[in-house]
């Protein structure tokens, strides 16, 4: 009991500033650290959104020539995984300076289709419309042939929706699709 009394009586006295200043500095540093962590997380989330888009699908034949598949498109994804919500494929034919025939195929993805950003040669989703497009490309009465694809997709980790829209015109000389308008948000 005497030793405890000796320790308490001989305890050095310190000023208020010596005790509370380090505590205040530590709390301020903790606050700055938490705020910095918040800003970093927000920046990472904003910069790692998915970018999904549609391209003309082509493959190499036995002679290593590039062949465009007219009815097929390749859906690609960059930067982060994306989940498709709705995709609409429309083909329109122009005869006598007006649109005469339009084939629309709207696909709502009831089954979750997730696109992963990997090597584009390895990971791609293709979609082929059930429509006799090859007979239209050789028809002489057709002035123009257009393909429009609208895709709505979202980030897997959030509910924010994004949109891609593309319009292509068929080039008879090159036997491929020429992009007219590609819009993404």
Give the three-state DSSP class for 137.
Answer: helix
Contact 146, 86 (CB under 8 A): no
Report the distance separating Cα 11 and Cα 109, nearest Å: 74
Report the distance separating Cα 23 and Cα 30, nearest Å: 11
Region label for 60, one of left (φ > 0), alpha (ψ between -120 and 50) or beta (otherwise): beta
Q: How many residues does the chain have?
A: 185
Q: Where are the beta strands (DSSP E) in 39-160?
A: 51-60, 66-78, 82-95, 98-115, 125-128, 144-155
Contact 123, 113 (CB under 8 A): no
* Higher-pLDDT residue of 28, 136: 28
pLDDT (tens digit, 9 = 90+) per residue, 25-79? 999 999 999 999 999 988 877 777 888 888 888 888 889 888 888 788 888 888 8
Helices in 48-173 by DSSP H: which ranges?
Answer: 133-137
The whole-angstrom distance between residue 90's C-alpha and the CA centroid of its chain comes to: 21
The pLDDT of residue 131: 67
Q: Where are the domains of the chain?
A: 2-47, 51-184
Residue 178 has pLDDT above 70, yes or no: yes
Domain covering 51-184 assigned CATH 2.60.40 in the classification: yes
pTM attached to this predicted model = 0.67
* Higher-pLDDT residue of 82, 1: 82
End-to-end CA distance of the chain, in Å? 76
Q: Residues 141-166: what's their mean pLDDT?
A: 87
């Amino acid at each position: 009991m005497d030793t405890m009394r000796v320790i308490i009586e001989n305890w050095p006295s310190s000023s208020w500033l010596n005790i509370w200043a380090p505590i205040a500095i530590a709390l301020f540093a903790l606050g700055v650290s938490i705020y910095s962590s918040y800003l970093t997380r927000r920046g990472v989330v904003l910069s790692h959104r998915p970018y999904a888009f549609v391209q003309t699908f082509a493959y190499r034949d036995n002679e290593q020539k590039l062949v465009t598949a007219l009815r097929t498109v390749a859906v690609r994804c960059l930067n982060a995984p994306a989940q498709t919500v709705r995709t609409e494929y429309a083909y329109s034919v122009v005869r006598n300076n007006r649109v005469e025939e339009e084939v629309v195929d709207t696909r709502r993805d009831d089954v979750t289709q997730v696109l992963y950003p990997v090597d584009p040669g390895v990971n791609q989703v293709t979609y082929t419309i059930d429509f006799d497009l090859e007979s239209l490309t050789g028809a002489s009465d057709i002035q123009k042939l257009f393909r429009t694809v609208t895709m709505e997709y979202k980030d897997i980790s959030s509910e924010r929706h994004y949109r891609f829209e593309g319009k292509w015109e068929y080039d008879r000389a090159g036997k491929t699709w020429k992009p007219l308008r590609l819009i993404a948000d």
